[in-house]
Amino acid sequence: MEGDTREAIQDKSNVASSRPKNGVPNGSDRRLTDEEFERYSRQMIVPGMGKHGQLRLINSSVLIIGAGGLGCPAAQYIAGAGIGTIGIVDGDVVEPSNLHRQVAHATSRIGMAKVDSLITHLRSLNPLPTYIAHPFHLTAQNGADILSRYDLILDCTDNPATRYLISDLCVLLQKPLVSAASVQTSGQLIVLNCPPSPQGVVDRPCAPCYRCCFRKPPPPSANLSCGEAGIMGPVVGMMGVAQAGEAIKILASALHLPQDARGASGASGASDAERHLTHPHLLIYSYDLASAIGPYTFRALRMGGRKRSCFACGEGSTLTLEGIRSGNPDYVQFCGGLAPPPHAGLAPEERVTAAAYDAARRKQELPPHVLLDIREREHFSLGSIEGAVNVPFGKLLMKAAEIQRDGGEAEDVLPREARGSGKDAPIYVVCRRGIDSQETVAKLKELGLDHGGTRKIVDIVGGMKAWKDEVDPRFPFL
Amino acid sequence: MAPAPPPGHFHILYFAAAAQHTGKSLEPLPAPLPLRDLFDELERRYSGIRASVLDHSLVTVNLEYVDIQADEEAPEGERVVIQEGDEVAVIPPVSSG
């Protein structure tokens, strides 16, 4: 048995590209080792799996891009199921704030590369697969080379630019993509580009790519990251586990192979499955106790197929691997760039640094004023500048829109505690990082709260982040 | 499932950033409403929602994707009209993980 196992590992350590392609019943006559037989017994007896399905998994390779909240749970089940080759891409290191959701890492591995930490965990779970570490971020330059070595791709990343890059590469390399995303209390999951069809083919039903579903990225200002907006562990965990489920299902039934390569006979019963996949379902999970729809809701929404006009996979697409490698399209630019967001064009006298505001306060040079903190209530509850009153930015904008549309007292956008502080009491606005506060100053002026210029409305530059950096290093900033 | 909308209305569901912008997850809107007028109607109610949410969101009617762009270009008789009792959803992409 020992010998068999070692042989099996060696067999699988061949580079992925020279492995026999999964799907054809290659090795279906191979004996499973005793260890494999015992380890995979409970899934092999599930109807439809069998030894045949298990061998397909063992002969398959999966690339997991992102070793975070999605990648950790996904990788655990991918490894557990015995996928033969598992590659993991991530350039980050484990941080304490990851651990509430990235459950394959460990307190003892804080500071370690996430890829190494995750592989450590996966090896202890299942030593049989071959694990390949890609300890850096996926880029337009390295992407094609890495993705081309695997049968199926899991998008477990955390930003729109990388999502579009991955989808485009999957189109060009004809790889199926299991994509999931999650923030705060919402999750999404969809199987894309599966089974893969050549770019530009539109004369038969083909599966959509990410761009067919989401043509344009959100503006950077509307794009919430887990670091800024927060994330509940079970929500992202659920989506990661579901990603693994989809991947295993696809590989065990050989649906990841291009339609043409599978031949006319194909895998048995594939045609129904294919019909589902050319119009895949977007699974939405919302976990919101206050929601009118219900506290926990799954919804499966049927998407369209490949779009004739799609930039990446549609008719006459000009997207190429060489283009991507040389920076065309520019994904960062497409997703709003790294440039600072447009500011509201405030005059210098409408802005004050956190340090200068603090100094003026200490010297009691400031008249009685309103200090308006527009962070979310949860951030405000963790700590605020003494005397600050809170109204979340989104609420303030909604109230402002209501007043502008239906009429009403402009003063009502301010929280009740702030309304009695004198007609011309200056308003200082602070937010998390100093962006929303500029927009708020402009909005308050637009509403006429500056009383034609007699009342000062001032932005605290850099927000509470600057307050922590310049004034109070112990401030609990999140 | 969401509760049934009142007579003469359809329900619209807001997910993720759409829920954040509107401050609600669900509301009834008057039906019938041509699909291509949906975004104008929402912009009228929630100023700024088109640029910050709708332009990059996908829309479903009764759990099926509808292509708003294609609908706008379609001939009059083939355009989608949202009917009483329908369930419409606005789904912005989520990117984090």
CATH of the domain at B50: 3.10.20.30
Query: What is the nearest CA distance from A226 to chain B, expressed in angstroms?
Result: 6
pLDDT on residue A1: 37
Q: Could B97 and A288 be called an inter-chain contact, meaning their C-beta atoms sit closer than 8 Å?
A: no
Is the CB of B93 inside 8 Å of chain A's CB atoms?
A: yes
A121 is an annotated ligand-binding site residue? no
Is the CB of B91 inside 8 Å of chain A's CB atoms?
A: yes
The domain containing residue B81 runs over which residues?
A: 9-57+66-91
DSSP-H helix ranges across B1-97? 16-22, 38-45, 49-52, 68-73
Q: Best mutation site among A186, A213, A215 for testing chain B: the one with the most B CBs within 10 Å?
A: A186
Is the CB of B75 inside 8 Å of chain A's CB atoms?
A: no
Chain A, nearest residue to B53 by Cα = A218
At B82, is the secondary structure helix, strand, or coil? Answer: strand
pLDDT on residue A229: 78
| CA Rg value for chain A | 27
How many angstroms separate the CA atoms of A103 and A107, rounded?
10
Per-residue pLDDT of chain A (478 residues; tens, 9 = 90+): 333 433 333 333 333 433 444 444 445 568 899 999 999 999 999 998 999 999 999 999 999 999 999 999 999 999 999 999 999 999 999 999 999 999 999 999 999 999 999 999 999 999 999 999 999 999 999 999 999 999 999 999 999 999 999 999 999 999 999 999 998 888 999 999 999 999 999 999 999 999 999 999 987 766 666 667 788 999 999 999 999 999 999 999 998 887 666 554 444 445 777 778 899 999 999 887 777 777 778 899 999 999 999 999 999 999 999 999 999 999 998 988 755 555 668 888 999 999 999 999 999 999 999 999 999 888 999 999 999 999 988 888 888 888 888 888 888 889 888 876 677 899 999 999 898 899 899 999 999 999 988 999 999 999 999 999 999 999 998 8
The candidate with the shortest Cα–Cα distance to B82, out of B28, B41, B35, is B35
Dihedral sign from CA coordinates of B33, B37, B39, B44: negative
Residue A208, preceding peptide bond in cis (omega within 30° of 0): no
Name every residue whose Cβ is closer than 8 Å to that of residue A56 and which is 6 or more positions away in sequence. Answer: A22, A23, A251, A252, A253, A254
Q: Could B97 and A68 be called an inter-chain contact, meaning their C-beta atoms sit closer than 8 Å?
A: yes
The candidate with the shortest Cα–Cα distance to A403, out of A440, A447, A449, is A447
| Residue B1 maps to a domain | no
- Taking each helix axis as running N to C, give the angle between helix A393-406 and helix A436-446, from 0 to 180 degrees, rounded to the nearest 10: 20
Q: Could A187 and B94 be called an inter-chain contact, meaning their C-beta atoms sit closer than 8 Å?
A: yes
Contacts A304 to B, Cβ<8 Å:
65, 67
Which residue ranges make up each domain of chain A? 2-334, 348-470
pLDDT on residue A264: 46
Contacts B21 to A, Cβ<8 Å:
394
Q: Give the tens place of pLDDT for each residue, A135-144.
A: 999 999 999 9
Name every residue whose Cβ is closer than 8 Å to that of residue A123 and which is 6 or more positions away in sequence. Answer: A131
The candidate with the shortest Cα–Cα distance to B48, out of B19, B81, B22, B78, is B22
Query: What is the nearest CA distance from A18 to chain B, expressed in angstroms?
Result: 32
Contacts B73 to A, Cβ<8 Å:
none
Q: Could A286 and B65 be called an inter-chain contact, meaning their C-beta atoms sit closer than 8 Å?
A: no
A101 is an annotated ligand-binding site residue? yes
Q: Name the CATH superfamily, with its identifier, for domain A2-334.
A: NAD(P)-binding Rossmann-like Domain (3.40.50.720)
How many angstroms separate the CA atoms of A350 and A347, rounded?
5
Q: Could A293 and B60 be called an inter-chain contact, meaning their C-beta atoms sit closer than 8 Å?
A: no
pLDDT on residue A353: 94
| Residue B26 maps to a domain | yes
pLDDT on residue A191: 97
Q: State the Cα torsion A373-A374-A376-A381 to the nearest 10°.
A: 10
- Beta pairing partners, A18: none
Q: Could B25 and A157 be called an inter-chain contact, meaning their C-beta atoms sit closer than 8 Å?
A: no
pLDDT on residue A408: 87
Q: Give the tens place of pLDDT for each residue, B6-60.
A: 999 999 999 988 988 898 889 999 999 999 999 999 999 998 899 889 999 999 9
Residue A419: C-alpha distances to residues A241, A444, A450, A456 (Å)? 49, 14, 14, 15
Contacts A70 to B, Cβ<8 Å:
97
Q: How many CB atoms lie within 10 A of CB A332?
A: 17
Query: What is the nearest CA distance from B56 to chain A, expressed in angstroms?
Result: 5
**CB-nearest partner of A69 from B47, B89, B97:** B97
Chain B, nearest residue to A403 by Cα = B47
Chain B, nearest residue to A294 by Cα = B2
| A164 touches A140 (CB < 8 A) | no
pLDDT on residue A261: 62
Is the CB of B53 inside 8 Å of chain A's CB atoms?
A: yes
Burial A38-56 (b: 16+ CB within 10 A, else e): ebbeebbeeeebebbbbbb
Q: Could B53 and A222 be called an inter-chain contact, meaning their C-beta atoms sit closer than 8 Å?
A: yes
Is the CB of B24 inside 8 Å of chain A's CB atoms?
A: yes
How many angstroms separate the CA atoms of B12 and A148, rounded?
41
Q: Could A188 and B93 be called an inter-chain contact, meaning their C-beta atoms sit closer than 8 Å?
A: yes
In CATH, A348-470 is 3.40.250.10: yes
Chain B, nearest residue to A289 by Cα = B25
Domain count, chain B: 1
pLDDT on residue A462: 92
- Beta pairing partners, A287: A296
**CB-nearest partner of B96 from A226, A240, A404:** A226
| Residue B48 maps to a domain | yes
Contacts B23 to A, Cβ<8 Å:
394-395, 398
